[in-house]
Chains A and B, each alone.
Chain A
Amino acid sequence: METKLLHIFRNTPLGRETLLQSIYFCNITRSSMVIYIPEYTKFLMYFDNDVVQVDLDPSYLLYPETSRTHALDLTKAHGIDASFFEPRQFTASTLPDIPVDFDFMCSPRSISDLSSKISLGHIGTRVRRIIKTAQFPVLLTSPCYKEWTSILVFFGGSVNSVKAVRLGLHISRLTGLPLDLFTQVEGSQTMDDYKDRLKQAGLEADFDKRVRDWKVFADNGFEENLYHVPHQALAVLGAYGHGLVKDILFGSKMEVIQSVLSNNLLIVGPRYSAKG
């Protein structure tokens, strides 16, 4: 089935790097790309049970006369036939509505803050809200264009991490790239417990066929073990996993990963309806 990725284009060098990441993602997953070049600093996304207003950093509106040409040049050069989204629905005259029926969305770590604030350990509030509400996973790109040659899924046994494994397998099927799993053993959990969860989710057969390596760490701290994440891997992980505060916080593991890893992150929120 054809998949679609939404990219909000920023006509700056940082925006070019982000667009290159999207292009690479679309090429390798054979997804089609929908580019939105904003004309206003805010837009609305109406999800199933929430409406998110995204207030963009003003740099998204820079140099509008060259935005489309720049985006077209890059996409054409990489063989992507991107379509440009023109808003038709407006909640208010300066407040367009962006559809949410995409399969992926690409975003830098923050879209509301100045680009100088974008750094490891900082994910903007709007991006967090989109991840929390969206039914699609969000591709958080590394600051510079970086190709990925394998997929690594963080699997801690939670419902969302099972969804992440499912997504990882789906992308591995689409791209033919090898898939690795990363598990930090916690408390009294054993490997059998983790395997059982995958079995219960019906992923056992696909897992045996596609997973190249299951990196299991029982020693050392989680942060220290993140050094073993391959440099050129797309990291797939779930957010808002556990406990009473799951609606407010990403989850401690997720916060550590986004503070330490500079890889491209494909984040699965709680409302993501898993594919594959």
Chain B
Amino acid sequence: MRSSWSVLALVLVAGAVVIPSLFRQPASLTVYCAHDAIFADDIIRLFEKRSGIAVEVRYDEEANKSLGLTNLLIAEKDRPRCDVFWNNQTLGTIRLMDHGVLAPFKGTGYERIPSPFKDVGGHWTGFAARMRVFIVNSEQLTATEEEVAELLASESLNTVAIAIPLYGTTLTHYSVLAAEMGLEELKKWHHSLQARGIREARGNGSVKDLVAEGACALGFTDTDDVFVAMDQGKPVKMLPIRTTAGKTIVIPNSVAMIRGCQHPDAAQKFIDFLLSAEVELLLAQSASRQIPLGDVDRSRLPDSVQELMNWAGQGVEMEAAAQLNDSVLEWLSGEYVQQ
């Protein structure tokens, strides 16, 4: 290898990296977004168009679960490069608040969201929710609460799937159960599922695949995953997962401003935009069918979301679950990653 060739090649590849960025508008706002890129991107571009503020987005990737945007924000706490965090759940955001990563902000958007879905101090605000649901293969099981309960009480659960609860909404689900039944009862329930041979997948998407492909009859997953399968024409239906007290598990998106961020004005405009009725409607009308939490024009909601709204009205409070999140994760780490 000749040095001159290497230098020339390095210059060429550096050009390939740098040139595309020259054609971009300099960013006036940096957003970390854990919501699905294909749904969030349209909304962020709409904000750019309306406000004239250029936004750079960093999406969360499944590949990066081990670090995740929440952990990245904690790592960057002293020198943040992010202005706004759009999370696709709330427990992680509450954890950031506990680490002092978030700054309070109560704008017009904050006011229209009901109090169970926001922090009293304004550190974070929830909007557009998903729900934990059972995905049922309708060719193998009738989608009724009785049939599901019967299957879950049976001796063998080898046709039932759940994601490993170390991350994502399954961890939130476990934290909610821990808050309601206590950690010891949760452990018994978890061990009972395992002893009866429940299938453990690596994520909710994988649970959806197992049920949609007919390898399992029932799975624990989220509404957006079920809608993906439904839109692909798979024989699946959904039922809400209820806690022993009969509550549903509603998992809102949440948005928060980062403490010490470089563009606070633009950040506040973006947060108010996200928390508007217009964005909640857009998310409800998207393929992921998110459930609006504030007041919206109900006549413009798809039928599937109308039904979800009824279930979401029976949602469990998340405060206690947030407090138990760390203890649940500590116990689960011992279960899944022993040395």
- Whether chain B is bound by chain A comes out as no
